[in-house]
Amino acid sequence: MSKFFKELWTRLKNAGEPIGVVFIILGVLALATQFILVRLNLQIGIDLLGVFLGLFSVGLGFIAIGMSAKLDKHVLKVLDRFEPQSDKVEPAKVQTITPRPVEVKTGVGKLTVEVGKPRPEKGSKEAAQKRLDEDTKKVGYVRGEVYQLKDGGWGIAWGGKYPL
């Protein structure tokens, strides 16, 4: 049964923003209905105001969940030299993804991922260090550290005590 709920939660997270917009629209319609009924001097109390506030809050919640899920999917695209076979991303209390200093000044920064770029022999400490050095040179600060895998190879632990 828990697998069902996990799949349901994943679907809700991925569709969070559109669901949230629908709830907000329904809330605004409830509020507009109350204004019309008050204008017609019908005694309905504040029931529809509560409905509006509830729907609006649920809508904002779903939008926040959807935006969070979208960010989780795209955080690895920021790491140009990430190799899923050997690297890992360590969660930290706060992950910040900052653009390069030049992009901040010009305001035209784009997140790019280079695919298919030739790399040194995979698994060696030198190859992992070279990828980390290239990334450090590109972004202007260190975003990870080299670590040894269980099979004896080497990879990069992104994040952790380093900001992404």
Q: For 51-60, what is each residue's pLDDT tens digit?
A: 888 888 989 8
Containing structural domain, residue 108: 88-159
**What is the mean predicted confidence (pLDDT) over 22-43?**
83
Q: What is the domain count for the chain?
A: 2
Domain check: are 69 and 93 in the same one? no
Domain check: are 51 and 115 in the same one? no
* Mean pLDDT, the chain, whole residue set: 75
Q: Is residue 42 part of a domain?
A: yes
- Residue 14 or 116, more confident: 14
DSSP string, 50-92: HHHHHHHHHHHHHHHHHHHHHHHHHHHHH-TT--TTT-EEE--
Return the pLDDT at 115: 42
pLDDT of 140 > 50? The answer is yes
Look-up of token digits 């080299």 = 146
Quote the pTM value. 0.44
Q: Is residue 164 part of a domain?
A: no
Write the CA distances from 32 to 36, 39, 53, integer angstroms.
Answer: 6, 10, 12
Return the pLDDT at 118: 46
